[in-house]
Amino acid sequence: MLYQEFYSELGKLLYAVADFDGTITKKEKRTLYEIVRKKLVPSEKHKDEFGTDVAYYVGMEFDYCDEENSDPEIAFSSFIDFVEEHHTAFDAKLKKVCLLAPLELAKANHKTNKVKKLLIRRLKNEIDKIYPQVKTIKKVALL
């Protein structure tokens, strides 16, 4: 699998979650960078051609989407398309990241609002369609 591309697509997904209600708060951006720094980078061993941990591509893609005022729906669809295309390369760790990182970001402002909750449910449903044999994480199922 192309890990650099996966993390770029994950950045698009997290951008979609943050911007789906039309606003990206400073708290959401801080939470995004904290997710990357504390959770993704330590567990990722792949590097790009410059020696940069590919997990940092999450933040780079998020920032790019934010600067370009990307459509969150298109960003979300891009991520889903990537997962569908590369579904055989996803292990349990990547599936968990795909569900828990967006959930954590959505809760950045003390609780998940209704619009973001709908997007997280949509994500869970899409992941369930792609991986019907894999039970999704109970925490996400409770939304």
Kindly state the percentage of the chain with pLDDT values over 70. 89
Angle between helices 26-34 and 3-19 (to 10 degrees): 160
Q: Would the CA dihedral through 7, 130, 136, 24 be positive or negative?
A: positive
pLDDT at 142 over 50: no
pLDDT for the residue numbered 84: 92
What is the total count of domains within the chain?
1
pLDDT for the residue numbered 141: 42
Is the CB of residue 101 less than 8 Å from the CB of residue 93? no
**Of 132 and 35, which is predicted with more confidence?**
35
Lowest mean pLDDT among 44-48, 108-112, 125-129, 134-138: 134-138
Could you list the residue range(s) of the whole structural domain that residue 127 is in?
A: 3-141
Q: pTM for this one?
A: 0.88
pLDDT for the residue numbered 88: 86
Alpha carbon distance 90, 104 (integer Å): 20
Cβ-proximal residues to 21 (8 Å cutoff; 6+ apart), any chain: 113, 115, 116
Partnered with residue 53 across adjacent β-strands are 47
pLDDT for the residue numbered 42: 93
pLDDT at 137 over 60: no
Distances (CA, A) of 97 to 9, 14, 18, 26, 140: 12, 11, 16, 22, 12
**Of 11 and 111, which is predicted with more confidence?**
11
**Of 71 and 114, which is predicted with more confidence?**
71
Q: Tens digit of pLDDT for each residue in 30-81?
A: 999 999 999 999 988 989 999 999 999 999 999 999 999 999 999 999 999 9
pLDDT for the residue numbered 112: 66
Cα angle vertex 104, ends 10, 22, to 5°? 70
Please tell me what DSSP assigns to residue 135: P
